[in-house]
Structure 1
């Protein structure tokens, strides 16, 4: 397995929503340990959860890309250091464990942050995923942190119902993507 090529195909599939490309090396029982901060459908095992994550990210970010900085692999895991870039053109909804979801309104701004991804292998396929992400850097570049002097805009967005609609839409789009992927997921 060429680890760098495999990781980049997988991440390109996530960025574009290409089920075949994203799932090519995915184990049917894959667990995304990062799904705790994503819509509930993203916690589904295997391809349905991965495609729910993809849909959730693509709802918020257009021009989403991953660029490989460095990759290393052994028989048990693949580790990739990547740039993630995009533009926030939709609401970004964060699902904090034990708290209500928080929706951040679109800013139209671009971001570029580094991530470290670790994929544990089972039968030569990605069976577990963990990541170290620069969420603080991303939220700062997007203009959400520190809170803008226009906090009134955030309050109006909540009062107008846009916040609640954004949360519902993020949950819905993730569920739809997971359900669609479940119909195409390989049988274990």
Structure 2
């Protein structure tokens, strides 16, 4: 189902609608269906955090946001965001949240050319980290996203850092396998 925004280009959302749309965009990553992404993300949507994600996440529009959700869901079970505060002004909303889940699938990171850079194989470990998401809206939809995340805290909780010799070996083998499968 497609969403037609009641706003025309250049109109501002009220603060409540602005913050609710930003809150919704963060939560969709864990539980939203493909059609939900069309209802929340603008056709020109750009995720400024996609540089190490799969190539299909680096595009524009709801399909790129959906690709990010699929990538995260493939790596983490019981994925969820708990929103603690949301602020909004003009066309920008800030969402303070914690992200939690369990590392049950390989996390594959990519280089600037879209090739497999490194893989962190599943550890089975749970994690919970704080994040701040910035969402710019246009025409009532999220058109831009960037974030500040506790990646080191997440890596530590998941056993990626500091890595044990055995886990380094598993990373090497998983990376080699992913590169071979990408060819």
Shorter-chain TM-score bucket reads 0.7 to 0.9
Q: 1:53 to 1:156 in 2, by over 3 A?
A: closer
- Segments ≥4 residues shifted beyond 3 Å: 1-5, 96-100, 164-169
- Matching of residues 105-116 of structure 1 within 5 Å: 105-116=121-132
Three-state SS of the structure 2 residue aligned to 1:101 is strand
Corresponding residue of 2:43: 28
2:149 to 117, 133, 156: 133
Which one of the candidate residues 159, 167, 172 is aligned to 1:143? 159
TM-score w.r.t. structure 1 length? 0.79
**Counterpart selection for 1:13 from 19, 28, 41:** 28
Q: TM-score, normalised by structure 2?
A: 0.81
Contact 1:77 1:121 in 2 (8 A): yes
CA contact 1:26–1:126 (8 Å) conserved in 2: yes
**Aligned counterparts, 1:1-188, within 5 A:** 1-97=16-112, 101-148=117-164, 151-155=165-169, 158-159=172-173, 162-166=174-178
Aligned to 1:152, the other structure's residue is in SS state helix
Distance 2:34 2:170 in 1: 37
Q: What 5-or-longer segments of structure 2 have no aligned partner? A: 1-15
Q: CA deviation at 1:158?
A: 2.8
The alignment's C-alpha RMSD in Å is 2.4
Instruction: State whether residues 81 and 117 of structure 1, in contact with CA within 8 Å, keep that contact through their aligned partners in structure 2.
Output: yes
Any idea what the Cα deviations from partners look like across 1:115-160, whole Å, max 9, x if unmatched? 1100111112111111001110001000110112xx134325534x
More helix by share: 1
